[in-house]
Amino acid sequence: MQVNLKIWRQSGPDSPGAFHNYEVPNASPDMSFLELMDVLNEDLQTKGEEPIAFDHDCREGICGSCAMMINGRAHGPETGTTTCQLHMRKFADGAHITVEPWRAGAFPVIRDLCVDRSAFDRIIESGGYITAPTGTAPDANLILVPKEVADSAMDAAACIGCGACVAACPNSAAQLFTAAKLSHLNLLPQGQPERYKRTVSMVNEMERWFGSCTNHGECSAACPKEISLDFIAMMNRDYVKAQFKQRRFASQT
């Protein structure tokens, strides 16, 4: 099959960018989208041209590196699918496909389709972990966790931090990412001692870099792991509780 690509090229963060047109005449329907990019880059290198920079790692839908806007949709037209798992059979022969980097102020372009997502790292560094020493690993059933809670925590932990939620949101908000990273810790017994401190720290750090949530729901629709909006509601509830607890403790000192 043949595909016609319109790809954003930008040599650096401070350089102007523009779309460039490329044709891939020998694409296989069984290729993933990243394999298509590999074929294009091999052709460019053969011609002595600069290959297109794009992020990738595991190519198994786990790492979250494959961040691309494809025809205006994060990760492309297939729901619940990362770019590396999107196959060319989802496109018609002769299709025209526009490929862009994530468009968000907190994700500046490094080069071509690569963006700097270190703002996510700063949110995690502000509190997305458990610091309490727990000693050696306890027996598997020593800490009882209701199945519903364990299932919900696992659903939140499915977030791969790709940034599709931010790219899809008209406000470039990161509530879904932050809520997922909070909830998988806040739901479990081990996360309770630092629950409210963690929530305040991570939400405050998030608000330094990203826009505000206005309940469009685009984040969950674009998420390749289909993280639920319910986690945002849980985060907001915990944040309100944390503020109340802080005022109460302040009045007692």
Q: Are residues 125 and 78 in the same domain?
A: no
Within a domain: 109? no
- Per-residue pLDDT of the chain (253 residues), as tens digits, is 999 999 999 999 999 999 999 999 999 999 999 999 999 999 999 999 999 999 999 999 999 999 999 999 999 999 999 999 999 999 999 999 999 999 999 999 999 999 999 999 999 999 999 887 767 777 767 788 899 999 999 999 999 999 999 999 999 999 999 999 999 999 999 899 999 999 999 999 999 999 999 999 999 999 999 999 999 999 999 999 998 877 666 655 5
Same domain, 179 and 235: yes
85 plus 145 within the same structural domain: no
pLDDT at 167: 96
Residues 129 and 246 in one domain: yes
The string of pLDDT tens digits covering residues 196-208 is 999 999 999 999 9
* 123 assigned to some structural domain: yes
CA dist., res. 205 & res. 126, Å (int): 7
Rounded-to-integer distance, Cα 70 and Cα 87, Å? 12
Q: Are residues 87 and 142 in the same domain?
A: no
Query: What is the tally of structural domains in the chain?
Result: 2
The answer as to whether 29 is a domain residue is: yes
Same domain, 127 and 233: yes
* Angle value at C-alpha 56, between 50 and 62, nearest 5 degrees: 170
Q: Are 123 and 178 in contact (CB under 8 A)?
A: yes
pLDDT of residue 136: 74
Residue 110 forms part of a structural domain: no
| Residue 13 located in a structural domain | yes
CA distance 50 to 240: 51
Instruction: State the Cα angle at 81 between 77 and 84, rounded to 5°.
Output: 100
Residue 155 resides in a domain: yes
Indicate which CATH number applies to the domain containing 178. Answer: 1.10.1060.10
| Closest residue by Cα to residue 36 from 81, 117, 78, 90 | 90
Q: Is 132 in the same domain as 227?
A: yes
Q: Note whether 158 and 58 are same-domain residues.
A: no
pLDDT in tens, 158-173: 999 999 999 999 999 9
| Residues whose CB falls within 8 Å of the CB of residue 192, separated by 6 or more in sequence, listed in order | 186
Q: Which residue type sits at 168?
A: A
Domain around 63: 3-100
CA 179 from chain centre, in angstroms, equals 12
Q: Which residues contact 176 (CB under 8 A, 6 or more apart)?
A: 159, 165, 219, 220, 223, 227, 229, 231, 232
Query: Which residue, 100, 126, 158, sits at the end of a domain?
Result: 100
Q: What is the CATH number of the domain that holds 67?
A: 3.10.20.30
What does the radius of gyration of the chain's CA atoms come to, in whole angstroms? Answer: 21
